[in-house]
Structure 1
Amino acid sequence: MPARISNYFLLRPYWLAIIISLLLILWMLSSPEAEPLQAEQHSIKEQILPKVQTTRFTPEKMTKSLTLYGKSEANSRAVIRAEVAGKIVAITTKKGLRVKRGQALLNIEKNELPFRLEQAQALLDERSLNYKAVKSLNDKGLQGRARLAEMKSLLLAARTDVEQLQLKLARTKVTAPFSGILQEQFAEKGDYLQVGDSVFSLENIDPIVIRGDATEHYVSQLTLGQSISATLLSGEVISGKITYIASMADSKSSTFRIEAEFANPELKIFSGISAKLSIPLYPVEAIYISPSALAMDGEGNLGVKLVEQGTVVFKAIKLVEADNNGAWLSGFAGEVDIITLGQGFVKPGDPVQAVAAEK
């Protein structure tokens, strides 16, 4: 009997295919076996969610500052020149020393100037007496007005000669026009000077001026007298005021020159050193975050990746300012959970398993 059944199906194989198909359909429609499979697949899906580390940040108040890099320079600088011709007979100071306004620097030979001054003074006395005599006669009607005018002109000419000689004699002693430090010395004792020859250069570095260049975006936010701080290479921070804002941009850099004065009574800050200027602009609420947590979306917007209800969300932000250790970001309404580890492996819309970082 079994042999006959076997021969029957061998002669008619389509029946065997029909029976196998019916058995497969019945197995697939069986719900008690499908439910464990779906549960197992869901469990596997939960297990493969990527893990990311998040840190909670709360915006805090800070001041947006403009940072400029510049150099220090003298508040005033002058090249002291000879105003009379003659030989240098004495130099009373030397370069590198601090001098006060009016202090003698060198003496130029007086030559015949004292004798010429004495002669001019005597002529002035004579003409003064002549003028007084003619004026007395003119007051009595015994002398004409023309003669009086002539005597007055001669008197004024004599007085002018005396004053000119006095000025030349005074200029044989070269003095400092303001307090400062002598930088360069261009002449030595025994040199013969012509009018206009350089003898010393003088710089005043109290207060010291530090200059920088601001872009057109920020220059309109600056005002004269505004507080400013400068960080020197030594790490010292000094405070000062803005004293100059250029009204015309540099043709090459399209920036505006800014100058600020800083007290330098001990003359410890020299001209020509580098400094970082910081100018407070306005208050803002921001968070301070490591640059490694920053990201960019497909359109090139700067932002961070957050986790909201288990899903990655990209949040565009505004960079307030940055330093070597991090960046201040604004644009947050309240507390946020920012992905600080693993953000490079997830994209917006991905479900993730967030793990809070230890405080």
Structure 2
Amino acid sequence: MLVFERDMVREFAGFAPAETDQTDTTTLAEEAAETATAAAAPGGGVSVIAVESTAREIDSAVVIRGRTEAVRAVDLLAETSGRSVAAPIQKGALVSTGDVLCEIDMGTRAEALAEARARLAEAQANAPTASARVAEAQARLDEAETNLNNTESLASGGFAAETRVIAARAALRTAEAVLAAARGGAASAEAAIEAARSAVANAEREIERTRITAPFDGVLETDTAELGSLLQPGALCARVLDLDPIHLVGFVSEVDIERVEIGAMAGARLSSGREVMGQVTFVSRSADPTTRTFRVEAEVANPDLSIRDGQAAEILVRAAGRMAHLLPQSALTLDDAGSLGVRIAVADGDGDVARFAPVELLRDSPEGVWVAGLPEVARVIVVGQNYVTDGVAIAVTMQEGGS
């Protein structure tokens, strides 16, 4: 009532409302004028408070939003058909290289292997006979060539008829044909041996396919195939993950990719709050065509497998140190163009003037913010920076405890 019905209360108490309001307005105006006068320095400059800041080298880091990823993950698929005859292994179980995860009924595969081996033995037994036939045909060819040469010599001296020469030449052609046929038979024998060997290898490989084993040490992400289920080629036996070590995967923008190097230390805070350390092992040379970002991987030891595949992570990759100033966050301001920066005191003649200096925000900390872009030593205005513009004369009061 005193606030909203002030005039009525004053009139009831015997005061003159108009004169009192005029007196109050005059008093407020005088107080505002006195405050403005007190803010101005004796020399005419605006009074501000500044700190003297010296640049220091700090470890810079590239911050990446990413996730954890298994170093290896494989879906084990059946390569042959048959009924599963092995008891299933529950997901979450640890497996070692070579452990049998799924086994398919052998069926008639053993008999097929025995038949292939028998055919191989038969083909190998026929090979010497074919080689002997080649040798025999070669001997007959040599004999036919000798007979032809002798007959031609006798015929040239008049001691043999021309018909004997013709017969010798026919015998040579026959020997050549027999040799060619023998060589063809030897080649067929070798081909039969190779075909038999291939059949044996296929039968042995078909038997190997009935046992699906773990390709590396890891953990089962799914149950293995159920006992009695029918597996066809391409059917899933189990999924195996290799989680030690585990990868931290993130995507870095074009602006920061030059600061990330292979071998740099990388730390991460997982979604659970756990912090881990690792080392960068891969930096992509090709950008994602959609996001224009580059894939970065860091490797972290995970002997107890406590870090799971797919956890969200905030990754910090150590980069080269930079010179920066530690300033209170309240010192930051914006210029007319919306650029982030601070106002600094710069000597100009006999006094100081205010200047806007754009900065790059590097890191936030409990003590303040780390910024780059300022001179090595700068007087940064921390009180009154929002009431001055470039070129305005200022009276600087230095605050103790500058950085």
**What range is the shorter-chain TM-score in?**
0.7 to 0.9
Match of 2:284 among 237, 240, 245: 245
- Name the counterpart of 1:65: 61
Sort the Cα spacing of 1:235 and 1:345 in 2 relative to 1 into closer, same or farther, 3 A.
farther
Q: Tell me the alpha carbon deviations over residues 117-167 of structure 1, each in whole angstroms, 9 at most, x when there is no partner.
A: 122212211211111332244345477111111111111111111111101
2:77, 2:237 within 8 Å by CA — same for their partners in 1? Answer: yes
More deviation, 61-70/254-263: 254-263
Q: Which runs of no fewer than 5 residues in structure 2 stay unpaired?
A: 1-36, 139-178
Name the CA distance, whole Å, in 2 between partners of 1:228 and 1:139: 73
- Name the counterpart of 2:74: 78
- Name the counterpart of 2:376: 334
Identity %: 27
1:142-161, aligned counterparts within 5 Å? 144-161=182-199
Name the CA distance, whole Å, in 2 between partners of 1:71 and 1:106: 32
Sort the Cα spacing of 1:86 and 1:44 in 2 relative to 1 into closer, same or farther, 3 A.
closer
More deviation, 253-262/149-158: 253-262
- Name the counterpart of 1:205: 243
- SS of the residue 1:205 aligns to: strand
Name the CA distance, whole Å, in 2 between partners of 1:115 and 1:263: 48
- Name the counterpart of 1:263: 301
Return the letter of the residue paired with 1:284.
R
Q: CA RMSD in A?
A: 2.9
Name the CA distance, whole Å, in 2 between partners of 1:76 and 1:170: 24
Output the TM-score relative to the length of structure 2. Answer: 0.70
> Does residue 1:298 correspond to 2:336, yes or no?
yes
Q: Tell me the alpha carbon deviations over residues 55-92 of structure 1, each in whole angstroms, 9 at most, x when there is no partner.
A: 33211112333211111112222211111111111136
Output the TM-score relative to the length of structure 1. Answer: 0.77
- Name the counterpart of 2:360: 319
Name the CA distance, whole Å, in 2 between partners of 1:167 and 1:159: 12
- SS of the residue 2:187 aligns to: helix
Return the letter of the residue paired with 1:76.
R
- Name the counterpart of 1:5: none
Return the letter of the residue paired with 1:56.
E
Name the CA distance, whole Å, in 2 between partners of 1:346 and 1:244: 47
2:89, 2:223 within 8 Å by CA — same for their partners in 1? Answer: no
Offset, 1:322 = 2.1
Name the CA distance, whole Å, in 2 between partners of 1:138 and 1:165: 33
Q: Which runs of no fewer than 5 residues in structure 1 stay unpaired?
A: 1-41
1:317, 1:329 within 8 Å by CA — same for their partners in 2? Answer: no
Return the letter of the residue paired with 2:330.
S
- SS of the residue 1:116 aligns to: helix
**Equivalences, count:** 316
Name the CA distance, whole Å, in 2 between partners of 1:334 and 1:284: 12
Name the CA distance, whole Å, in 2 between partners of 1:180 and 1:314: 62
